């Protein structure tokens, strides 16, 4: 009997062995579960229904992209993807730009997209300073025709009637509503610059993009437009009107503030601005000066005939011209003229002005 009991005892499984076995099994199951967990996360589509626009700024890392996805609700957690990258020795080197992630793309495909820099289809369009909105419409129409949703007729209708536009941005809506007087077009706030136009942008979005740029330029130069809203003497719209004149009248960068000082002296004294640029706007000409007959046309834009500012800007000026209009030099000058070599001469009184013009330009 004693021999048999010893034999039975020898067949019992060692408890320590059982514990180790259980730990191994749990570990194997855990490894497979974890692998399945992060593989499933990596291979899951970011969006099944529609493309996703992603903006990667200079200096952004792939971790920043993941955080963006998580905060936007496109992924539940960044952890499984980070684990996958770590285990597979993947360290994405992404390129800054605007991307369109197609529907059905998983994280591995997104990584490839960001590393190769396959950006969202777009067209770059340059709008020069000092253009009328009619010319801006022509430029967009010429470069975007057939490849975007831009419509020239719609563009002209909207900028002529800004009250009919419903902007996506409440900030832009408030800006346009407060700056542009009722019944007047958006001339003056369609900022001249080089724009990236995505192929899915519509006409309203393009207009909004230009206004956003205008607001950004004001803020970057320390101009709080709300400060000028209730200024009875010279508000921001007045500054844009005068800035559009300065844009055409200045022949050099350092002329702008001084020319602005001349125009402010005239405005404050009730003397007509006598700007050739405003007369050319009225006649549709683009000459360096104006003929005597044109100085007598009956138009509110004829600043030889009517003192004060014209009713609207005459073009879309760059920010430097608007800054000059808002921050003129303090000067005693009431007159200026340009010579063919680009020099500008200033005078306090009319007789000196005439003598200078005859000496340098001929009478």
Domains of the chain, each with CATH number or no CATH: 33-116 (3.30.1490.480), 123-220 (no CATH), 226-361 (no CATH)
Nearest to 266 by CA among 307, 296, 305, 301: 307
Point out the least confidently predicted range of 29-38, 106-115, 179-188, 344-353: 29-38
Tokens of 275: 């700007």
In angstroms, rounded to a whole number, what is the distance separating the alpha carbons of residues 250 and 57?
A: 36
Tokens of 285: 């000409």
Rounded to the nearest 10 degrees, how much is the dihedral formed by the CA atoms of 302, 250, 244, 192? 140
| Predicted confidence (pLDDT) at residue 1 exceeds the cutoff of 50 | no
pTM given for the model: 0.72
Rounded to the nearest 10 degrees, how much is the dihedral formed by the CA atoms of 335, 340, 343, 348? -20
Q: Which residues have CB under 8 Å from 60's CB, separation 6+?
A: 94, 96
- Bridge partners, residue 122, by sequence: 198
| Predicted confidence (pLDDT) at residue 199 exceeds the cutoff of 50 | yes
- Give the residue-averaged pLDDT of 257-284: 96
In angstroms, rounded to a whole number, what is the distance separating the alpha carbons of residues 90 and 88?
A: 6
Q: Note whether 252 and 321 are within 8 A (CB).
A: no
Point out the least confidently predicted range of 5-9, 103-107, 213-217, 239-243: 5-9
In angstroms, rounded to a whole number, what is the distance separating the alpha carbons of residues 136 and 210?
A: 11
Point out the least confidently predicted range of 9-13, 73-77, 128-132, 191-195: 9-13
pLDDT (tens digit per residue) in 289-343? 888 899 999 999 999 999 999 999 999 999 999 999 999 999 999 999 988 888 8
pLDDT at 24: 67
């Amino acid at each position: 009997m004693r021999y048999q009991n010893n034999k039975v005892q020898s067949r019992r499984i060692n408890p320590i062995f059982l514990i180790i076995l259980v730990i191994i099994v749990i570990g194997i199951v855990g490894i497979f579960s974890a692998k399945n967990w992060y593989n499933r996360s990596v291979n899951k589509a970011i969006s099944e229904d529609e493309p996703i626009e992603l903006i990667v700024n200079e200096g952004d890392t792939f971790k920043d992209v993941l955080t963006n996805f998580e905060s936007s609700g496109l992924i539940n957690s960044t952890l499984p993807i980070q684990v996958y990258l770590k285990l597979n020795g993947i360290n994405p080197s992404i390129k800054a730009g605007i991307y369109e992630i197609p529907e059905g793309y998983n994280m591995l495909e997104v990584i490839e997209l960001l590393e190769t820099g396959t950006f969202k289809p777009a067209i770059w369009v340059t709008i020069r300073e000092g253009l009328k909105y009619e010319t801006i419409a022509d430029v967009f129409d010429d470069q975007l025709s057939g490849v975007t949703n831009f419509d020239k007729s719609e563009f002209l209708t909207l900028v002529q009637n800004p009250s009919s536009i419903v902007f996506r941005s409440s900030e832009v809506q408030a800006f346009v509503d407060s700056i542009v007087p009722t019944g007047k077009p958006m001339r003056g706030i369609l900022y001249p610059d080089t724009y990236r136009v995505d192929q899915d942008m519509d006409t309203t979005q393009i207009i909004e993009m230009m206004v956003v740029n205008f607001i950004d330029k004001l803020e970057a130069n320390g101009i709080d437009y709300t400060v000028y809203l209730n200024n009875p003497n010279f508000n921001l719209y007045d500054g844009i009107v005068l800035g559009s004149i300065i844009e055409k009248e200045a022949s050099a960068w350092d002329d702008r503030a001084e020319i602005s000082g001349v125009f402010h002296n005239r405005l404050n004294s009730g003397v007509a601005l006598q700007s050739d640029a405003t007369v050319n706007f009225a006649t549709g000409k683009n000459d360096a000066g104006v003929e005597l007959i044109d100085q007598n046309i009956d138009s509110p834009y004829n600043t030889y005939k009517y003192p004060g500012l014209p009713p609207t800007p005459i073009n879309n000026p760059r920010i430097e011209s608007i800054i000059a209009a808002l921050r003129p030099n303090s000067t005693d000058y009431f007159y200026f003229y340009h010579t063919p070599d680009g020099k500008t001469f200033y005078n306090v009184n009319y007789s000196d002005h005439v003598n200078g013009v005859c000496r340098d330009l001929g009478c």
